[in-house]
A and B are shown apart, each in its own frame.
Chain A
Amino acid sequence: MKLHRQILTLIKKDISLEYKSLESLAGIVLFLLATVYTCFLTFKKMPTAEIWNALFWIIIIFSGFNAISGSFKNEIGGKHFYLYFLVNPKALIFAKIIYNSTLMLTLSIIGLAIFALFLGTNVLEDINFLSFFIGLLLTSLGLSGILTIISAIASQLDFKGGIITVLGLPLLFPLILISQKYSAQALAGVSASGNMNLLLGLLTLNIAVITLSYVLFPYLWRQ
């Protein structure tokens, strides 16, 4: 099979697996609801744009960990060998990154809605939505690029307690720093073209992350 056909088939497989066990997706959305509600309870008044932005990204990172950490749970043991003989590892990592970033993007949009519901919309009054959305898209891509390869590493360690956060969080620092700055600008109403520097930074970081995953993943896959 050609690479892109393999990628499509693998994405379809992941979607149907997710559909069969919707409770895991529902669990992540519930996690989002619960954390945002905790913020709502602990903040006596509506947070400022700065705090809103920081909270938003912290919560998105941790839902990302919840959503993506298990992405190689189905590929251990016998299934690993089955897939190993069947598909190109490069197709597998691309399929996982595409699937996970779509998942991440959906989750962050749901997260945005939940934030607007509980933490008020006054922060969002000047928002440049297109610019904010581009930021979300690129961050989802980068986040899932890093977390996918980290979860591949963690799957080889049988997901020993907490290892994925220890390995993954420091790697996310550059991405989160840029996207946090970018989205703060977007919240203040700066358009994407007015924020070209940060946008290019995000883009470069994404390209670097995906290239690294693409080069390094086959070594992890070949046991």
Chain B
Amino acid sequence: MVKNWWKIVGAVLVIYATAFSFLRPLEPGIIQTDKTELILGQNTFSVTGYNSHFVDCSSSLKGFLRVDSVRAIPITVLYIKDNVHAEFSVNIPANLDRTVLDLFLSNDRTGSIFLPAAFRVDQSKGNPAALAEYTNVAFSSGEDISFEFPFQLRIFDTIRNLNFHVPMWFTMFVLLGLSLWYSIRYLNSDKIEYDLKAASSAKVALIFCTLGLITGSIWARFAWGDWWTTDAKLNGAAVSFLLLAAYFILRKSAEDKPNKAKIAAVYNILSFFMTMALIMVLPRLTGAASLHPGEDGNPAFSSYDLDSNLRMVFYPACAGWIITGIWIYNLHYRISNLKNTQS
């Protein structure tokens, strides 16, 4: 029990991260409005919210259109259909000096939620009201919910995938590093156990690589519209998958050779460095565009959406999956070692 404490830690972390990723709600937010263009004078529009509790807190629901950091145009609630749909009206004044307005809503439960650049105002249309009526921009905070995932336009609920997709790749890299380490040790010592260790960790790395590709592909379909895109990181993922698969084809076809382990170790070292060249060096050289956060001018998750709530799940998820990967590798190695000593 004491000897295996790290396995318990890994299992607990994975269970914690998985449970939190699936069970906790997303922060409230605004998904869309039915129109994006407003005219001068009276307008009505309907809003689709997300976890926005319009009915639950209908008495405190209010909102405004933000003009700049101080001024705002008040909106009035016309009709609340359900918790995520409501209709509002607004009177756009004539002497407006901005054309792009942000939509802010708030109630006691959710606090302020907003949709950036929700409306454009077409100044040439409509019947302007005589008097401009501005209020002040005011934010309010809602009920304190212990843990919520951040609300992100376009990815919505799939932000939970961050806790599965990214740890798969981290685990794969750790296992690839382990495999490289044991291949080098094998070449220097000729001990067959190192070869078995290198093969086992590469096999588990291949499994995690496949899982990373699947989770990434599903996410890419949702967020970017395609199962596979041209992206520097995807090139790296594809090549690591191909090289790992080729490594096992090599091992299979060299099964009856006396120097099978040596060939495999040489190929493993070669492929590790080529994968690294592809992942680390090439994107900087060729300026390959990447859609991933944190690349190529895209904001990194850490900058605005990896908020402290998400961190509380993301870091344990990474640690948990890495430990689980090493645990699976350990089991796989022990099985293949037993098979090897029996034959």
**Interface set of A (CB-CB < 8 Å, partner B):** 146, 149, 153, 156-157, 160, 163, 166-167, 169-171, 173-174, 177-178, 181, 197-198, 201, 204-205, 208, 212, 216, 219-220, 223
Q: Say yes or no for B341: interface residue by CB 8 A criterion.
A: no
* Proximity bits, B226-241, A CB within 8 Å = 1, else 0: 0000000001000100
Does B286 contact A198, Cβ atoms closer than 8 Å? yes
Task: Give the complex CA separation of A171 and B244 in angstroms.
Answer: 11
Q: Which of B289-309 contact A (CB under 8 A)?
A: none
Residues of the A chain whose Cβ atoms lie less than 8 Å from the Cβ of B265:
219
Given contacts A157-B253, A201-B281, contact A166 B246 (CB under 8 A): yes
Q: Is the CB of A173 within 8 A of B258?
A: no
Chain A contact surface mostly? helix
- A-B pair count, CB < 8 Å, reads 84
Beyond A149-B270, A178-B285, 7 additional pairs, beta carbon < 8 A: A167-B267, A170-B242, A174-B239, A181-B286, A201-B282, A212-B273, A216-B269
Q: Determine the chain B residues whose CB is within 8 A of the CB of A167 once the complex forms.
A: 246, 249-250, 267
Q: Nearest chain-B residue to A171 (Cβ)?
A: B274
Chain A residues with CB under 8 Å of B243's CB are 170-171
Contact A166 B249 (CB under 8 A): yes
A219–B266 contact, CB under 8 A? yes
Is residue B254 contacting chain A, with contact meaning CB distance below 8 A? Answer: yes
In the assembly, what is the distance between CA of A25 and CA of B299, in Å?
53
CB distance from A107 to the nearest CB of B (A): 23
Q: Does B146 contact A (CB under 8 A)?
A: no
Q: Are B250 and A163 in contact (CB under 8 A)?
A: yes
Given A156-B257, A157-B257, A212-B273, verify A173-B262 contact (CB < 8 Å). Answer: no
List A contacts of B273 (CB < 8 A): 208, 212
Residues A173 and B249 in contact, CB atoms below 8 Å apart: no
C-alpha gap A53/B277 in the complex (Å): 23
Q: Does B278 contact A (CB under 8 A)?
A: yes
The list of the 8 closest CB pairs from A to B, nearest first, reads A170-B242, A201-B285, A174-B277, A174-B278, A216-B266, A170-B243, A171-B274, A160-B253
Quick one: given A153-B263, A156-B263, A174-B274, are A197 and B285 in contact (CB under 8 Å)? yes
Q: Cα distance A167–B248 when bound, in Å? A: 10
Which residues of A have CB within 8 Å of B239? 170, 173-174
Per a CB cutoff under 8 Å, which of B258, B270, B286 touches A171?
B270
Taking residues whose C-beta sits less than 8 angstroms from the other chain, chain B's interface range is 20 to 34
In the assembled complex, which residues on chain B have CB atoms less than 8 Å from the CB atom of A216? Answer: 187, 266, 269-270
Task: Please classify the interface of chain B as helix (H, G, I), strand (E, B), loop, or mixed, using the class held by over half of its residues.
Answer: helix
A177 with B286: in contact, given A166-B246, A208-B273 (CB under 8 Å)? yes
Q: Is B259 an interface residue (CB 8 A)?
A: yes
What are some 9 contacts across the A-B interface (CB < 8 A)? A156-B257, A156-B259, A163-B250, A167-B249, A170-B274, A171-B271, A173-B235, A201-B281, A219-B187
List B contacts of A198 (CB < 8 A).
285-286
Closest to A216 in B: B266
Q: Which residues of A contact B262 (CB under 8 A)?
A: 219-220
State whether A204 touches B281 (Cβ < 8 A). Answer: yes
A205 surroundings in chain B (CB, below 8 A): 277, 281
Contact A174 B270, beta carbon cutoff 8 Å: no
User: Which residues on B sit within 8 Å (CB–CB) of A160?
Assistant: 253
Expressed in whole angstroms, the Cα–Cα distance for A166 and B254 within the complex equals 14
B143 to chain A, nearest CB (A): 52
**A212 touching B269 by the CB < 8 A rule?**
yes
What is the CA–CA distance of A173 and B267 in the complex, to the nearest angstrom?
15
Please, how many angstroms separate the alpha-carbon atoms of A208 and B258 in the complex? 29
In the complex formed, the residue of A with least CB distance to B265 is A219
Closest residue on chain B to residue A200 by CB atoms: B285
Query: Which residues of the other chain, A, contact B282 by a CB distance below 8 angstroms?
Result: 174, 177-178, 201
A156, B254: Cβ atoms closer than 8 Å: yes
B246 CB to nearest chain A CB (Å): 5
Contact partner of B281 among A169, A170, A174, A181, CB < 8 A? A174
Specify the chain B residue showing the minimal Cβ separation from A168: B246
- Report the bound CA distance from A143 to B266 in whole Å: 18
Residue of A157, A173, A204, A219 near B278 (CB, 8 A) is A173
Q: Are A153 and B267 in contact (CB under 8 A)?
A: yes
Residues of A within 8 A of B285 (CB): 178, 197-198, 201
CA distance A153 to B273 in the complex (A): 17
Report the Cα distance A197→B285, complex, angstroms.
7
Considering the complex, give the chain B residue whose CB is closest to the CB of A211. B273
Given A170-B271, A204-B281, A220 contacting B254 (CB threshold 8 A):
no
